[in-house]
Structure 1
Amino acid sequence: MQCKRFTAEIAFFALFIIMMLIGFNFNTAKCYAYTRNYSASSSETLLDYTAETIKRNFEDVMTEHEIIKIFNKKGVKKYSSLSFPFSSKNQKLKVYFIKIIQPNGNIIHINLNNLKTVTAPFNPEAPIFSNQLLKTIQIPGLSKGSILDYKFRSIVLKPYMKNNFFTEDYFGGLSPLKKSVYKLTIPDGVYYRYAEYGFKEKPEIIKNSKNITLVWSLWNRKKLTPEPMGPGESFIVPHVMVSSVKSWNDVAGWYANLTKDIIKPGKQLKDFIKITASKKTKLAKIKSIYNFVAKKIRYVGYEFGIDGYKPSNVNAIFKNRLGDCKDHATLFASMLNQIGVKAYPVLIPTTEIPNMNPDIPTPFVFDHEITAIKLKSGKFMFADTTSNVTTFGDLPPMDQGRNVLIIVGGKAVIARTPIFPPSKNYISDKEYVSVYTNGSIKVRAAIIYGGAYDMYKRYLYSSISKKNKRNGVLKNIMSIAPNAKLINYSFENGDSMTKPYIERFSFTAKKYAGKNGKKIMIRIPLRTRNELAKITALKKRKYPIKFGYNFSEKTAVNINFPKNYKIMYIPQAVSFKNKVGSFKTAYSIKNGALIFNSIFSVFGYKIKTANYAAAKKLFNYTIKTLSSQVIIFNER
């Protein structure tokens, strides 16, 4: 299980599109090209053939044969290097051949002695140490019109879950596909179940006295094109999953057996729990323990063999102050249980991979672990201490709306994590604006961030330099007025686990408002939302829009006009609502100042294609309304 952490990459992808307008890794033994670029059809897969055999001892032998035609320079770059992943502890890899058939018919045989064994790419944001290795090789001689042909075999020597197998196969990638075959051979008498995703063809089933063979075939599939803000490659490429695990209780029992000897706190940890949980109320005790694990246990993963699934001993995690997602979740649950709070490990697939299918029991589908706390009502509350910027009671967007396996006393409880409402993920923007007779403005603003925005902002606060923080504020105000000059700025609650992140700044901008004789025209609010048009730029969509969370933005602007200027025109207040969300504005006058308020709310976790027209209408309506101007005039 590759533990996931709420890191810059995850947060940035999920939040950047909304705030500033704003790889996929198949979990199989498939070879992949070192460089991926799917913006055009740079290549075509002529043959994608996988033959997998499960033996009686559950050794897993997989042979793959790939034939790919290169169309252009992008294709040459994409396949300029091949990498074959494998585990040094539990897997054997053999590359049979790699050859290039040039357009003139000449064949170049790549010297396999040039294969180099390297460690998997290292991410300093979420350091994971494992026995995952890559055999890599450069592919010289590729050109437009050439064909790349290679074959390799991978053997998994021992299953992590005794007397069981679980596997999956993707039919090619995004490129056009002529023929893809997945052939799975299973010993007769071994239980199995399967599910297809993205296609309806059932397998051809061939039986003999020893084995059952299932054969799936896919022919002449066109190029698959991901859409902006849509699902990734792992969601849209047809694939099949097969498992011999009979029930989720089997998975839960297997995992509980892995952890039974490592979850009891020793004396040092017990003493620390008493001090940390010395608060008066039960909730305060839980929050205190949560904040300790989230802030003080540094994320480092050691995923060697079965340790990819098995957490470390809670006492070692506490002593070393190190651990990955499963270590975080296990330590947190152990500490809570010590103070009488029922807490359990939760295996979860993050939003980067397809959701868990409750009908196909397997530990293969999980890439993360969090914690479930049982409430007095009998319901579960979920917490993810892996994210050191997520306050207790919240969840990173990648954890929301996912089917999960809660392990309660070695038994399985299938549940679904909540999708928080728009009011949970919010930006509250308060602006005080003074307009001058020459059209210049002076602005004082305070922006409060909640939920997903709060996580993202506090991550940036803790990870970027003071200079970059200032540059971020500058970029923000210059998006309002290109000639803006920053006066001052400050940040609040950047290290807090209880209070929302607040950003304050003030600036001036010359000639911001338009002037025509005695009239001054100014757009209120100062920010437009033209970036929304880019999200719904496509005429129609094949896939849903996935912001990954619901969100809202509340704006309040108090604007003071020059002396002797009166309001000539105020845009009409509006209220719009449909299936995707709502937008509402209101204007009022108080002590000579104009007060503008708006609320923009979107159910953006997943906007179905059937609701795309509604999204387009809501976003366009919001853009048009926010482009309206207030007109004032000089009475003298």
Structure 2
Amino acid sequence: MNNVPALKDEPYVNNINNYKSSVKYELSYTKYPDAPIKSYTTSWSDVVNTIYDNSNFGPELNKKGYFEEEIDALISTVSDPIQRTTLIFNYVKNKVKWNGYYGYGTNDGVKKAYKEQVGNVAEINLMLTAMLQHAGLRAYPVLVSTRQHGVPLFPTLEGYNYVVSYVKINDGGMLLDGTSRFSRPNVLPFRTLNWQGRVIAEAGGSTLIDLYPKQTSQNSVFFMASLSENGDLSGGYRSIKKSHKALSFRERYIDVDRDDFIARLENNYGGLEISDYNVKNELDLSKPIVESYKFVKESQADIIGGDKMYFSPLFFLKTTDNPFKLSKREFPVDFGYPSKMNSKIVVKIPEGYRIESLPESGGLELPDDLGKFIYQVSGTGNTIQVSVLHEVNSAIINPAYYEALKSYFAQMIEKENEQIVLSRI
């Protein structure tokens, strides 16, 4: 082949190797003399049967004696299926620690993992599924290929490297992963958000299930600051993070040195000086993360001629770089989950200055309700108020929308960087 265009990586790609042409070989079936044909990967039914019959999967799922007494006591006073699911899910997360190993098959077995309180992905999530089934819930294991492992498009045993649990309740259901102590029902670790999983049952039955969340992950920011005559900025910052935004924060914040975390945050914002840093609800997964701190940042306004001051009212929160730079993109944009960023900013201007000009309020929309951006600014007396909303309503955006998405981000960045002008009275 000649003149084949290079496949260029870009942000928001789950795994660039998913879009490279390749050939992989895998055993389809065996046929020995005087023996029937044994199929392994000729169909998805073969794949499911092969996996389920493996001693490290189906038989492990059917073991229940090692936990029955504890689970019976745990759910003895609870009949609601959602409450039962939550109780068992939290019990497993607190009981057994993930050792970092992937795989849909157990290594040492569920009983040993339960006893020693440590296990691989399969040992934890097959155990979780078995406990849910014991509690009378319709629970099933779900085969998953993590983001770095690829997408299984054809019947394959090697295409999956992970397993989670699915509980069907009424007309809905919950996806669960007991390996992450910060995950919640239907809030899976980011590594697992990779197209579709395969819900498997006995007798070769299987169905596909979408792994991308439908729930929007929110980050609401409240920012109050004062601008000094020399252009320095000081004030307070508060954010409320929910769903995957909260999960991501907890994974980055908990178990790391607090001073190192603050130092990285200061560096990310270009030399911000942070004090009185506080986080609420870091271990209470039923509540959002509330992060707050005081800050000082120098030289946040340009002073021209000694009587005019120019600055962007989003200051260090503004977007400065468009992640989409290709002229054409052949693969989807993968954000992982729908998101909503809502910022409320109040700025007090220095005494002796007045507002000369403000950017115009405005908005942008992506086609087919894929996202929107709303920018509103107003000024009264010595106070400026800014409200910014940025929504992405789909975890995956088809490459057909790439040009529109690229333009959307370019216009959003341009708007966020527009400046306010102050003049001396």
* Short-chain TM bin: 0.7 to 0.9
| Amino acid paired to 1:506 | K
Equivalent in 238, 246, 253 of residue 22 of structure 2: 238
Tell me how far 1:565 sits from its aligned partner: 3.9
1:493 maps to which residue? 281
Q: Is the 8 A contact 2:354 2:424 kept in 1?
A: yes
**Aligned CA distance change for structure 1 residues 513 and 276 (closer, same or farther; 3 Å):** farther
Q: Is the 8 A contact 1:278 1:285 kept in 2?
A: no
**Aligned CA distance change for structure 1 residues 414 and 446 (closer, same or farther; 3 Å):** same
Query: How far does the alpha carbon of each residue in 1:363-404 deviate from its partner, in whole angstroms, 9 at most, with x for none?
Result: 221111001101111x44311222222222312333335232
2:155 maps to which residue? 361
Distance 1:439 1:339 in 2: 62
* Structure 1 alignment gaps of length 5 or more: 1-218
Q: Is the 8 A contact 1:443 1:506 kept in 2?
A: yes
Equivalent in 575, 597, 613 of residue 387 of structure 2: 597
**Aligned CA distance change for structure 1 residues 424 and 294 (closer, same or farther; 3 Å):** farther
Give the fraction of aligned pairs with identical amino acids, expressed as a percent.
19
Distance 1:351 1:302 in 2: 15
**Aligned CA distance change for structure 1 residues 634 and 373 (closer, same or farther; 3 Å):** same
| Amino acid paired to 2:311 | I
- Once superposed, what is the RMSD of the aligned Cα atoms? 2.9
Equivalent in 71, 84, 91 of residue 273 of structure 1: 71
How many residue pairs match? The answer is 403
Aligned residue runs from structure 1 range 4-403, under 5 A? 224-229=6-11, 230=13, 231-240=15-24, 243-244=28-29, 245-257=41-53, 258=55, 259-262=57-60, 263-266=62-65, 269-277=67-75, 280=78, 281-300=80-99, 309-310=105-106, 313-357=109-153, 360-377=154-171, 379-400=172-193, 402-403=195-196
**Aligned CA distance change for structure 1 residues 334 and 522 (closer, same or farther; 3 Å):** same
* Structure 2 alignment gaps of length 5 or more: 30-40
Distance 1:301 1:563 in 2: 57
Equivalent in 245, 261, 283 of residue 453 of structure 1: 245
Tell me how far 1:622 sits from its aligned partner: 0.7
Distance 2:101 2:275 in 1: 47
| Amino acid paired to 2:241 | Y
Query: How far does the alpha carbon of each residue in 1:297-343 deviate from its partner, in whole angstroms, 9 at most, with x for none?
Result: 1112779xxx9734654333221111111112111111112222211
Distance 1:233 1:260 in 2: 31
Distance 1:569 1:276 in 2: 63
1:575 aligns with 2:363: yes
| Amino acid paired to 1:226 | K
Tell me how far 1:494 sits from its aligned partner: 2.6
Moved more, 488-497 or 603-612: 603-612
SS in 1 for 2:364: strand
**Aligned CA distance change for structure 1 residues 420 and 405 (closer, same or farther; 3 Å):** closer
Tell me how far 1:233 sits from its aligned partner: 2.6
1:414 aligns with 2:202: no
| Amino acid paired to 2:263 | N
Q: Is the 8 A contact 2:374 2:389 kept in 1?
A: yes
Distance 2:404 2:265 in 1: 33
SS in 2 for 1:524: coil
TM-score, structure 2 normalization: 0.84
Q: Is the 8 A contact 1:329 1:384 kept in 2?
A: yes
2:32 maps to which residue? none
Q: Is the 8 A contact 1:291 1:497 kept in 2?
A: no
TM-score, structure 1 normalization: 0.58
Distance 1:301 1:458 in 2: 18
Tell me how far 1:627 sits from its aligned partner: 0.5
**Aligned CA distance change for structure 1 residues 241 and 603 (closer, same or farther; 3 Å):** farther
Distance 1:571 1:447 in 2: 25
| Amino acid paired to 1:416 | I
1:469 maps to which residue? 261
Q: Is the 8 A contact 2:216 2:337 kept in 1?
A: no
Tell me how far 1:619 sits from its aligned partner: 0.8
Distance 1:260 1:547 in 2: 34
SS in 2 for 1:239: coil
Aligned residue runs from structure 1 range 428-443, under 5 A? 428-443=220-235
Distance 1:256 1:591 in 2: 70
1:528 maps to which residue? 318
Tell me how far 1:275 sits from its aligned partner: 4.2
Q: Specify which structure has the higher proportion of helix.
A: 2
Q: Is the 8 A contact 1:399 1:417 kept in 2?
A: no
2:354 maps to which residue? 566
| Amino acid paired to 1:236 | K
| Amino acid paired to 2:162 | H
1:505 maps to which residue? 293
Structure with greater Cα Rg: 1
Distance 1:420 1:572 in 2: 35
Q: Is the 8 A contact 2:143 2:198 kept in 1?
A: yes
Q: Specify which structure has the higher proportion of strand.
A: 1
Q: Is the 8 A contact 2:238 2:293 kept in 1?
A: yes
Tell me how far 1:455 sits from its aligned partner: 2.4
| Amino acid paired to 1:442 | S
Query: How far does the alpha carbon of each residue in 1:444-464 deviate from its partner, in whole angstroms, 9 at most, with x for none?
Result: 001223333322221122242
Tell me how far 1:285 sits from its aligned partner: 2.9
SS in 1 for 2:409: helix
Q: Is the 8 A contact 2:105 2:123 kept in 1?
A: no
Tell me how far 1:628 sits from its aligned partner: 1.2
SS in 1 for 2:205: strand
Tell me how far 1:295 sits from its aligned partner: 3.9
Tell me how far 1:567 sits from its aligned partner: 2.6
**Aligned CA distance change for structure 1 residues 602 and 571 (closer, same or farther; 3 Å):** same
1:69 maps to which residue? none
| Amino acid paired to 1:408 | A
SS in 2 for 1:410: helix
